[in-house]
Structure 1
Amino acid sequence: MQNKITNNPKFQVRQPEEYIDIDDLDDIDEYAEMMPPSKTPNISSSGDASSTARSVTKGPMNLYFPQKSTQKGGGIDETKKILREHTVSAFAIWMYDVGLPFNCVNHKSFDKFIETVGQHGLGMKPPTFHEVRVTRLKKEVEKVEKIVDEYKVQWTKFGCSIMMDKWTARNGKIIINILVNSPIGSVFLGFVDASNESTDSTKMYKLFESTIERIGLENVVQIVTDNASENVKAGSMMMGAYPHIYWTPCAAHCINLMCGDIFKVKPYASAFKKAIRIHSYISQRQLLF
């Protein structure tokens, strides 16, 4: 056998086993008997040429690399399930401690938060009080100001409408929200706390005036408010001072007042009360379709 190996040119320079010609399998069988048992390739005598070639391509280098397991199991999925259970539990306890509303998990920003935390991986340090109160808050304010600047360009180009909505909060405070609407959309400009002072026509006119000066006299087309008597009078004063700006009553408030007067009539009063009960019942329960 040694003489045969020496005299055969095919075995003088040993080639990698994956390049051995399958036509010389008879010579390989004899040569394989001289190799150690752990390195002997398994050649099936009943297999075809392709299966034999696949068997001999596995050389000694395979012994140094872990083989991929073909066994399917739920080990990784089970571990992820346990880790998620601990994470959700910790987050829920934090929600209950600080009193966060349950619908906060439905916000898109919450999905982004979970995604970024997962991308960071292990060892992430929680934000500090200074970061959320000062550092990050300043940066987010700068982002909002840039967005408002983009809207201001539209105000200058197409004009805008000032919308004021007065409402009473659950704690009894009277809040006046100020929004600016343009073809690009609406922007929340700010609010006024009118709890400790009366909102008569003079004070409402001053609020109109200060808002117009803030946005720009040439940019304002109209001011929209509800139909309260003080707003009607303040709107007349405003149109006298600024003839090119109109005061417009809120259409939704007009419809609300009309419906209120209709349902005060006896034939509709009882039906209106029943409708309120039905609406409350439906809105307070989750319907499954």
Structure 2
Amino acid sequence: MAGTKENVELCINVSDEVRAQLLQVVINAKELAEQKKRQEIYVGDDDEGNRQSEVPESVMNVLKNSKEFTKMCEMTGKYGQGFKPPSYHDFREKYLKIEKNNIEQILDEFKEEWKRVVEKVGEENVIQIVIDNAANYKVAGQKLMEKRKHLYWTPCAAHCIDLMLEDFEKHIPMHKDTISTGRRITTYIYGRTMLISMLKNFTKGRDFIRPVVTRFATSYLTLACLNEHKGALMTMFCSKE
């Protein structure tokens, strides 16, 4: 079915797409077998007479340092042949509910600690809370203010500024176009190792802050860096290198 033609004739009723998928399974199985074979090749004994295996250093570090990895291997081995990993439904329903209950139990301990802190300070002295501006935080803040009339909620200033900058980029064409152009420049440079090295030569070791999706302030900081090093950038792109 995979089209290897090893010890059997080719099945002509298999579509090209399915054949390609099956062939990849065969290739992966062979690579896994080769990898296992390489790991079982011994290269001699150490000073204490223990046999040393030719296993990549990165793999050995995982085996030595990861207790979770070792435990996983032990549990899989105890289960025996035919082990099947949990299904998507198991993760989504069964194990998600179990994990949710575990987290809620852990949170109960913290909630008791929070209560003791408020009692220690004195509820009448807790007059302000500063939290994020997300919808769930807003609802929590409003409920707290309804329950405790002397308390008021203040949104996080940094998050407010971030949301303002997000609106600038979304609704002001000049901002949107300028940030897009700056992003193309940084993407072009940071997508090429040679240009990154060349950039640092022209900017005397300075690096650009690259824009990311969730932190809109970073886009403006990147523009500031581009503007600050505009001369160095023009020189670099006009150079023979």
Larger RCO (CA under 8 A, 6+ residues apart)? 1
Would you tell me which structure has more helix in proportion to its own residues? 2
The normalised TM-score by structure 1 is 0.29
TM-score, normalised via structure 2 length: 0.33
If each structure's strand is expressed as a fraction of its own residues, which one has the higher value?
Answer: 1
